[in-house]
């Protein structure tokens, strides 16, 4: 049950839909963004020590956000319904490096002024500035996300930026998941200290507000599989559309009118990241790089569609097509296909090569690369290998399709074969990622650190011992452990232990929530855990490692 004040606020469309948040800082500027459910007569930001300066905002409309019968909203939707949401963005351009000043946004609805609280902003930090960066991933409206982010603020205080390695929500075109899901744990409320999520553990009911974070610190996200919508429809539900992504070359083959194929056509008939791109302001929409203090951050679009690992013939999964769909290729899932190529020679790979050779990258003290799909993990989503599915179609004597299966050759894993050697040769300090909803870290022989810190709200477990991944018996996919060789490192401060008191190299819990902090003053990444079963318990720092350069170990 949520508080009545929260319910009244979300029902009132004459309120701001979000508090403001910060994007795209430069040496002397930053973007302030917020949302409303009304177009308004004007929108502005006041800033300065006495809020004496004013800049108007530009307004645009989100084009694809909708609700449906599965939306968790106060207003019941019986069918697909467009939702009118307006985005406002103002660029503050006369800032001084190192100076943090107050700001406040105001939206005018006719003669009524609707104001945010007062927050602070600062431009991009100069080199040598001591920073604390929140490393987080896979929020997805999960049960412990609000608790996790509340504990960040209570433990660390104000952070200087958020690096978020994908899977921000579950269904990217469902507006309420971003703004006002009635359970109280939507994306923006959790990161703005406006959540109202009730968590019940051991019979104890605790309400978590999340953390007031992105009003005062810029957010830098990566695209995960949950930022990608599938084929657009005016009839099927949003969950079904999300799952219905197909490769672009397949969409072209299935096209009835090849003359109609365009970039926009492919967005509607294959997959798209339109809502994600419309919500955020980034250096580039899908992959990008930037300097932030002593950090050069490189964000890649490395993710594929999540298909069911179930081996039953009724599953449209990673390894097989659903048997009842065999006569209808338009209903096939086409395996766990990749959205944006990262193989050597692809446009993204070529862009990355140029970035890694840039002066900005070469001169950075800390070189951090963030993407969604894990190169190393004990989680389930690293299997099968990250490569294009190879189909085998079996037919009977009449030509009728009897089975469709997909193989993923280990030697063609693009992350391991192409991406990681490139990053290691560039002396990257940290590769940060998510996707499997756990915490574990790894270290390459040459000293490159790998961290997965995505046990924010729930976990699907670590695959060791008797907990095996579901994999076809006739293929050589790893059922346990890290398929790509590196051993998981046992936390060096306060590891958890198993039933025989042996330290564990991971956290995969639905009671413990984890966050990590990159500290540029110390050159460390520290990880913390909080046990939600005991709301009054302390947050425990359980691991810390140095971001030494490759070759220094």
Is the pLDDT at 138 greater than 70? The verdict is: yes
Q: Do 356 and 497 sit in the same domain of this protein? A: yes
Mean pLDDT of 131-139: 98
Evaluate whether residue 523 is within a structural domain: yes
Mean pLDDT of 220-224: 98
| Angstrom distances, CA of residue 258 to CA of 142, 244, 263, 335, 433 | 41, 21, 12, 24, 38
* Domain final position from 74, 108, 123: 123
Evaluate whether residue 181 is within a structural domain: yes
The β-bridge relationship of strands 21-23 and 390-395 is: unpaired
Evaluate whether residue 533 is within a structural domain: yes
* Domain final position from 90, 123, 156: 123
Q: What percent of the chain has pLDDT over 70?
A: 97
Q: Do 73 and 198 sit in the same domain of this protein? A: no
Q: Do 396 and 501 sit in the same domain of this protein? A: yes
Q: Do 149 and 13 sit in the same domain of this protein? A: no
Q: Do 166 and 116 sit in the same domain of this protein? A: no
CATH number of domain containing 331 = 3.60.21.10
Q: Do 426 and 327 sit in the same domain of this protein? A: yes
Q: What is the pLDDT of residues 230-272, one digit of tens each?
A: 999 999 999 999 999 999 999 999 998 888 899 999 999 999 9
In this prediction, residue 237 carries a pLDDT of 97
Q: Do 387 and 410 sit in the same domain of this protein? A: yes
Give dist(CA 132, CA 136) in Å, integer.
Answer: 13
Give dist(CA 79, CA 524) in Å, integer.
Answer: 49
Q: DSSP label at 380?
A: G
Q: What is the pLDDT of residues 290-335, one digit of tens each?
A: 999 999 999 999 999 999 998 887 888 999 999 999 999 999 999 9
Query: Number of helices (H) and strands (E), helices first, in the chain?
Result: 12, 27
- Domain of residue 476, residue span: 124-228+271-544
In this prediction, residue 14 carries a pLDDT of 79
Tokens of 400: 């009728």
In contact, 151 and 539? CB cutoff 8 Å: yes
Q: Do 109 and 147 sit in the same domain of this protein? A: no
End-to-end CA distance of the chain: 52
Mean pLDDT of 32-44: 97
Q: What is the pLDDT of residues 317-328, one digit of tens each?
A: 999 999 999 999
The β-bridge relationship of strands 119-121 and 101-109 is: antiparallel
The count of structural domains within the chain is 2
489-497 LR contacts (CB < 8 Å, sep 24+): 489/440, 489/441, 489/442, 489/443, 489/545, 491/527, 491/542, 491/543, 492/543, 492/544, 492/545, 493/541, 493/542, 493/543, 493/544, 494/540, 494/541, 494/542, 494/543, 495/542, 495/543, 496/542
Evaluate whether residue 256 is within a structural domain: no
φ, ψ of residue 121 to 5 degrees: the values are -140, 160
Q: What is the pLDDT of residues 443-467, one digit of tens each?
A: 999 999 999 999 998 899 999 999 9
- CB atoms near residue 507 (< 10 Å): 22
In this prediction, residue 12 carries a pLDDT of 59
Q: DSSP label at 416?
A: I
In this prediction, residue 257 carries a pLDDT of 85
Mean pLDDT score across all residues of the chain:
95
In this prediction, residue 549 carries a pLDDT of 47
Mean pLDDT of 194-199: 98
In contact, 506 and 438? CB cutoff 8 Å: yes
In this prediction, residue 310 carries a pLDDT of 86
In this prediction, residue 550 carries a pLDDT of 45
Mean pLDDT of 28-54: 98
CATH number of domain containing 105 = 2.60.40.10
Give dist(CA 226, CA 242) in Å, integer.
Answer: 8
Residue in 292, 310, 349 with CA at minimum distance from that of residue 124: 292
Buried-exposed string 109-130: b where 16+ CB fall within 10 A, e elsewhere: beeeebebeebebbbbbeeebe
Q: Do 140 and 113 sit in the same domain of this protein? A: no
In contact, 138 and 434? CB cutoff 8 Å: yes
Mean pLDDT of 356-378: 98
Name the pLDDT band for 551 (thresholds 50, 70, 90).
very low
Evaluate whether residue 255 is within a structural domain: no
Give dist(CA 60, CA 35) in Å, integer.
Answer: 10
Name the pLDDT band for 121 (thresholds 50, 70, 90).
very high
Evaluate whether residue 112 is within a structural domain: yes
Evaluate whether residue 50 is within a structural domain: yes
Give dist(CA 333, CA 387) in Å, integer.
Answer: 16
Is the pLDDT at 131 greater than 70? The verdict is: yes
């Amino acid at each position: 049950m949520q508080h009545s004040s929260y319910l009244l606020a979300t029902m009132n469309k004459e309120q701001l839909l979000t508090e403001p948040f910060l994007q795209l800082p430069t040496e002397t500027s930053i973007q302030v963004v917020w949302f409303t459910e009304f177009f308004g007569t004007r929108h502005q930001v006041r800033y300065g020590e006495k809020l004496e300066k004013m800049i108007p905002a530009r307004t645009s409309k989100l084009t694809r956000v909708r609700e449906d019968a599965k939306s968790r909203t106060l207003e019941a939707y019986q069918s697909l319904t467009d939702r009118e949401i307006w985005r406002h963005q103002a660029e503050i351009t006369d800032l001084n490096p190192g100076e943090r000043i107050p700001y406040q946004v105001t939206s005018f609805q006719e003669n009524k002024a609707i104001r945010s609280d007062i927050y602070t902003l600062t431009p991009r930090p100069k080199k040598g500035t001591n920073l604390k960066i929140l490393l987080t991933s896979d929020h997805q409206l999960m049960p412990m996300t609000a608790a996790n982010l509340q504990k960040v603020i209570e433990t660390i205080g104000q952070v200087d930026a958020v690096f978020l390695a994908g899977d921000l929500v579950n269904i990217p075109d469902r507006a309420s998941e971003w703004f006002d899901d009635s359970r109280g744990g939507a994306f923006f409320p959790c990161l703005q200290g406006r959540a109202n999520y009730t968590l019940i553990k051991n019979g104890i009911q605790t309400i978590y507000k999340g953390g007031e974070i992105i009003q005062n610190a810029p957010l830098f996200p990566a695209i995960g599989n949950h930022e990608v919508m599938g084929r657009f429809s005016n009839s099927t539900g949003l969950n079904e559309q999300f799952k219905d992504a197909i490769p672009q070359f397949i969409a072209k083959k299935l096209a009835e009118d090849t003359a109609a194929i365009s970039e926009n056509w492919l967005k509607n008939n294959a997959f798209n990241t339109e809502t994600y791109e419309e919500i955020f302001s980034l250096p580039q929409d899908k992959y990008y790089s930037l300097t932030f203090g002593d950090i050069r951050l490189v964000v890649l679009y490395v993710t594929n569609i999540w298909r069911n690992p179930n081996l039953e013939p009724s599953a449209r999964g990673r390894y097989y097509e659903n048997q009842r769909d065999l006569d209808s290729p338009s209903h096939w899932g086409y395996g766990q296909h990749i959205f944006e190529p990262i193989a050597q020679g692809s446009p993204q790979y070529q862009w990355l090569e140029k970035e890694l050779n840039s002066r900005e990258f070469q001169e950075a003290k800390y070189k951090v690369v963030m993407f969604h799909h894990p190169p190393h993990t004990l989680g389930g989503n690293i299997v099968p290998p990250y490569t294009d599915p190879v189909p085998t179609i079996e037919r009977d004597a009449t030509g009728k399709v009897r089975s469709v299966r997909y193989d993923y050759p280990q030697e063609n894993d693009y992350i391991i074969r192409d991406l990681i050697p490139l990053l290691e040769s560039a002396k990257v300090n940290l590769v940060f990622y998510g996707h499997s909803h756990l915490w574990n870290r790894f270290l390459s022989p040459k000293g490159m650190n790998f961290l997965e810190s995505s046990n924010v709200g729930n976990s699907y477990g670590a695959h060791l011992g008797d907990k095996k991944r579901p994999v076809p018996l006739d293929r050589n996919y790893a059922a346990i452990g890290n398929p790509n060789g590196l051993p998981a490192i046992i936390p060096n401060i306060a590891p958890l232990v198993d039933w025989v008191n042996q330290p564990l190299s991971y956290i995969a819990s639905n009671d413990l929530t984890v966050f990590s902090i990159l500290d540029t003053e110390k050159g460390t990444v520290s990880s913390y855990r909080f046990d939600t079963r005991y709301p009054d318990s302390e947050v425990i720092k359980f691991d810390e490692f140095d971001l030494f350069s490759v070759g220094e170990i």
